[in-house]
Amino acid sequence: MTIYQAPPVATLQLENVSFVHRGNTLLKPTTLQLAGCHRTLIMGPNGAGKSLLMRLSHGLLTPTSGSVHWQSEPPAQAMVFQRPVLLRRSALDNLTYVLAINKIPRPELKGLSRKAQAMSALEKFGLASLAKRPARVLSGGEQQRLALARAWLLNPRVLFLDEPTSALDPAAIKAVEDAVLEFHHSGTRIVMTTHDLHQARRLANDVLFLHNGELLEHTPADDFFTTPASPEAGAFIRGELVW
């Protein structure tokens, strides 16, 4: 068996990035660097700007000021949303659809037909028996796994996940977390938002802590959970509501 060695992931640099919507500053000027193949968890209470920071990083939104750039060629990216957006087609067709858009197959699937690639992704995520089912009648957990399978086929070097487990039961959460670790093992940088402290402890290498649209901390996970630098983060970890 050949072991595929993923090349290093390009560094993402945010410089003085801010976002203003209808006069409200939703993200204060933020400077940030994401390098290496880490699992970075973005944390903070509701409305802190977690999803916004992620969308700016992924390029779905344009910052009001400042710049978002990759220090070399922008890598392949994918994003998994809180509520998976699946097309009104079968599970299998949802996967062949992205293969038709993204013509570069995963290295280990090279040479296979689109359908065969899609089937292998379905098998990998435990969805093979649901291939023919309409994607939108699958359960919440199955839909999220299908969204992950779709992201898998895009072979991203950076995977963004926006609270992917917030509406799932514990078994489905476990399946998503396993998938995230699998992505990471294959050399994909993970950037994920969550407000679940336990999940963050399980997954994080480093933590970005946001509060009221301001980035208060970017620290290794161990430090963040034991000795948070900001009082807000301390209060958040203790479960005291921070608004």
Partner 1 sequence: MLTSDNAFSTALALIMSMDSALISIVMLSLQVSLMAVLIASLLALPLGAALALWRFPGRNAVIVALNALMGLPPVVAGLCVYLLLSRAGPLGEWGLLFTPTAMVIAQVILVLPIIAALTRQQVEALHGEYAEQLNSFGLTRSRMIPTLLWDARFALMTVILAGFGRASAEVGAVMIVGGNIDGVTRVMTTSIVLETSKGNLPMALGLGIILLGLVTMINAIAHVIGETAKRRLG
Interface positions with partner 1 (CB under 8 A): 55, 58-60, 77-79, 81, 85, 87-90, 97-98, 101-102, 133-137, 154
- Tokens in use for 207? 């933590």
**Which residue, 59 or 107, has its beta carbon nearer to partner 1?**
59
With beta carbons less than 8 A apart as the criterion, state whether 175 and 145 touch.
yes
Strand pairing report for 189-193 and 65-70: unpaired
**Which residue, 6 or 137, has its beta carbon nearer to partner 1?**
137
CB of residue 82 vs partner 1: minimum separation in angstroms? 11
Residue 145's identity, in one-letter code, is R
With beta carbons less than 8 A apart as the criterion, state whether 105 and 139 touch.
no
In angstroms, the CA 237 to CA 81 distance is: 24
CB of residue 86 vs partner 1: minimum separation in angstroms? 9
In angstroms, the CA 228 to CA 231 distance is: 7
Residue 110: which residues within 8 A CB-CB, separation 6 or more? none
**Which residue, 145 or 218, has its beta carbon nearer to partner 1?**
145
CB of residue 53 vs partner 1: minimum separation in angstroms? 15
**Which residue, 91 or 221, has its beta carbon nearer to partner 1?**
91
CB of residue 223 vs partner 1: minimum separation in angstroms? 32
CB of residue 202 vs partner 1: minimum separation in angstroms? 25
In angstroms, the CA 49 to CA 16 distance is: 15
**Which residue, 85 or 234, has its beta carbon nearer to partner 1?**
85
